[in-house]
Structure 1
Amino acid sequence: MKKKILFVVSSADVIGPKNRRTGNLLTEVAHPYEVFKQQGYDIDVYSVKGGDAPIDMVELDDPTNIVFLNDEGREKFKTTRSIEDVTLDGYDAVFVPGGLAPVVDMPDNPTVQKILGTMYDNGKVVSAVCHGPVSLINVKLKDGSYLVDGKSVTGFSIAEEENYAKEDVPFELEDALKKRGAKYSCVDPWQPYSIRDGRLVTGQNPASATGVAEKVVAILES
């Protein structure tokens, strides 16, 4: 039976006091999508509000990004269903891409928390990259503990945010993860870094998106 991947993505297209334009970062959407597609997995995309999920169109000369924009993946982002309608039965893994968008509508979203917590409690794989791990900050498991507590995780670092969107984000992801008890680590800014702790997979930045997807595949195929 084919494995099924659930993409949970943001519906936000602006962030911060200056209304900086944003969205789900193209590289962090396209690279994992193509890894899962090449593996033969079924992929569904649900967004916070449903409808056209915004994509931050960076690195338009990247070959994988071009492939994604010209196949059914882009169409799925234009016609997402709301996360309020998702049924988790049958999904083997959930993936949350970054971009600044999830910082806006995911950290305090109870449905996002329920999806991620339920997937993990049910023995499934939970994964996120770059700013995507903001979705994990407030997720609690059925035993009342925070999902990231005691787990080795990564995500967009303070050093990276300093020269990217420090004035636009309401908090530092690195600090927020540590506050919840996560064992946070990172490498030099913009270098690929993805880590696995059991069924939890996280990546630091756009360069880490492929690595996250490959680690998810390794878990599902083991």
Structure 2
Amino acid sequence: MKKNILFVVSSASVIGPNNRATGNLLTEVAHPYQTFKAQGYNIDVFSVAGGDAPIDMVELEDQMNQAFLNGEGAIAFKNTQSIDKIDVTKYDAVFVPGGLAPVVDMPDDPIVQKILADMYDQGGVVSAVCHGPVALINVKLSDGSYLINGKHVTGFSKAEEEHYAKVDVPFELEDALIDRGGKYSAAAEWQAHIVTDGRLVTGQNPASATGVAESVINLLEPVQA
């Protein structure tokens, strides 16, 4: 049976005191989307506000990014429904891409928090990459505990943020994950690093995007002994 993947993405196009242009980072959108598509999965894209979900167009020469931009993925991002229309019970996994955008509209959004909590509570897979794990920091499960408390996690590191967007973000993601009880780890700057803890999958940076999707697939399609 085909698996159903839910993309929950940001609607923000600017961030910070200088109104830096941003969006959902192309590589972190396209690589997982194309990886899930190649597996034969159904993919639905919902954004915080609905409508055209902004994409931060980086690495345009990348072949997987081009396949996404020239295919159904880009169309899906231009025509999203808002997250209040989501029926979580229809999906096997949720994925939150990065880019700076989710820092703006996800950490304190109660609907985002409920989607992620409900997915985890129903036995589904919760995944995010780069700045995407910002959506996890305030998520509480049905037992009142923080989803990431005591779990191994990663996300965009302080070392990476120092040379990327430190002046634009209101807090360091690495610190926020640790403050919520996450057991944070990171690789060298811009190197792929994917952490799976049970049904929670997180990736550190753009180089980790494909690996996050592959790890989700491994959880949904366990190898039979």
- Shorter-chain-normalised TM-score: which range? over 0.9
In the other structure, the counterpart of 2:148 is: 148
Q: Which residue does 1:185 correspond to in 2?
A: 185
Encode CA deviations 1:143-188: one digit per residue, 9 max, x unaligned. 0000000000000000000000000000000000000000000010
Q: Which residue of 2 aligns with 1:56?
A: 56
Separation in 2 of the partners of 1:164 and 1:89?
Answer: 37
Q: Which runs of 4+ in 1 moved over 3 A?
A: none
What corresponds to 1:47 in structure 2?
A: 47
Q: Matched residues in 1 for 2:62 and 2:72: separation? A: 17
Deviation at 1:90, TM superposition (A): 1.9
Residues 41-190 of structure 1 aligned to structure 2 (within 5 Å): 41-190=41-190
Report the TM-score when normalising by structure 1: 1.00
For 1:13 and 1:147, locate their aligned partners in 2 and report how far apart those are by CA, in whole Å.
27
Residues of 2 paired with 1:141 and 1:74: CA distance? 32
Structure 2-normalised TM-score?
A: 0.98
1-side partners of 2:192 and 2:210: how far apart?
9
Alpha-carbon distance in 2 for matches of 1:25, 1:58? 7
Tell me the CA shift for residue 193 of structure 1. 0.5
Q: Report how many residues are paired.
A: 222
One-letter amino acid of the counterpart of residue 96, structure 1: V
TM superposition shift of 1:71: 0.3
Superposition CA RMSD, Å: 0.3
Question: Alpha-carbon deviation of 1:134?
Answer: 0.2
Provide the C-alpha distance between the structure 2 equivalents of 1:43 and 1:159, rounded to a whole number of angstroms.
33
Looking at structure 2, the residues matched to 88 and 136 of structure 1 have their Cα atoms a distance apart, in angstroms, of 16
Q: Which amino acid aligns with 2:77?
A: F
State the match for 2:12 in structure 1.
12
Q: Distance in 1 between matches of 2:210 and 2:60?
A: 17
SS of 1:89's equivalent in the other structure is helix
Residue 34 (structure 1) aligns with? 34
Per-residue CA shift, 1:109-161, capped at 9, x if unaligned? Answer: 00000000000000000000000000000000000000000000000000000
Out of 83-92 and 178-187, give the one that drifted further: 83-92
CA distance in 1: counterparts of 2:118 and 2:88, whole angstroms: 8
The farther-off stretch of 87-96 and 53-62 is 87-96
Q: Which residue of 1 aligns with 2:220?
A: 220
Q: What is residue 199 of structure 2 aligned with on the other side? A: 199
Counterpart-to-counterpart distance in 2, 1:188 and 1:163? 13
Identity %: 73
User: Residue by residue, what CA displacement relative to the aligned partner does 1:182-208 show, whole Å, maximum 9, x if unpaired?
Assistant: 000001000000010000000000000
* 2:3 alignment partner AA: K
TM superposition shift of 1:89:
1.9
1:11: how far off? Answer: 0.0
